[in-house]
């Protein structure tokens, strides 16, 4: 067993798979249950409402929503990290996820942009000719 400082409260504890101590795990679970109960009782609550009612950061509420562990009402929908469309599960909307998965997105389009720039300066083609000669 290795001793480590809890990521949340800084106390020393016997490190488990999580970076926080058993005390904080229990507290987090409690907060999670409170958030869940609040959402059940207030189905028009927004993320801000929940955060201020429970006394936690909006980011924590968002984190739980993204994990998909909470029932999400219309008012709790949050923006897709890529296009900003309202979503209720995960970090991206379905469309963006599909694009990400088909890998024609992000790295690939960045690469294409670079190639297009090179093409415009002629560098791209001369490089390719060199390649063919070899």
**Residue 14 main-chain phi, psi, to 5 deg:** -75, 115
Stretch that binds Zn ion, among 37-45, 46-54, 83-91, 100-108 (CB under 5 A): 83-91
Rule CB under 5 A: is residue 93 a binding residue for Zn ion? yes
**Interface mask (CB under 5 A) for Zn ion, residues 96-125, using x and -?**
x-----------------------------
Stretch that binds Zn ion, among 40-48, 62-70, 78-86, 119-127 (CB under 5 A): 78-86
Neighbour-count burial of 101, counting CB atoms closer than 10 A to its CB (0-12 exposed, 13-18 middle, 19+ buried): exposed
The binder of Zn ion chosen from 9, 37, 104, 108 (CB under 5 A):
9
Shortest spacing between CB 28 and Zn ion, in angstroms: 9
Rule CB under 5 A: is residue 83 a binding residue for Zn ion? yes
Closer residue to Zn ion, CB minimum distance, 8 or 118: 8
5 near 15, Cβ under 8 Å?
no
Residue 119: half-sphere exposure toward Cβ, Cα within 13 Å: 6
Shortest spacing between CB 79 and Zn ion, in angstroms: 8
List the interface residues with Zn ion, window 42-71 (CB under 5 A). none
CB atoms within 10 A of CB 35: 22
CB atoms within 10 A of CB 93: 20
Q: Using the 8-state DSSP alphabet, how is residue 111 labeled?
A: H
Q: Which residues bind Zn ion (CB under 5 A)?
A: 6, 8-9, 21, 24, 80, 82-83, 85, 93, 96
């Amino acid at each position: 067993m290795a001793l480590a400082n809890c990521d949340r409260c800084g106390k020393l504890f016997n490190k488990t798979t999580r970076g926080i101590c058993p005390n904080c795990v229990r507290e987090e679970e409690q907060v999670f249950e409170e958030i869940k109960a609040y959402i059940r009782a207030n189905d028009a609550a927004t993320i801000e409402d929940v955060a201020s009612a429970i006394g936690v950061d909006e980011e924590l509420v968002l984190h739980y929503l993204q994990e998909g562990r909470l029932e999400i009402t219309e008012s709790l929908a949050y923006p897709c990290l890529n296009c900003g469309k309202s979503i209720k599960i995960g970090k991206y909307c379905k469309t963006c996820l599909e694009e990400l998965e088909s890998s024609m997105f992000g790295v690939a389009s960045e690469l294409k942009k670079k190639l297009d720039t090179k093409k415009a300066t002629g560098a791209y083609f001369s490089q390719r000719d060199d390649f063919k000669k070899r």
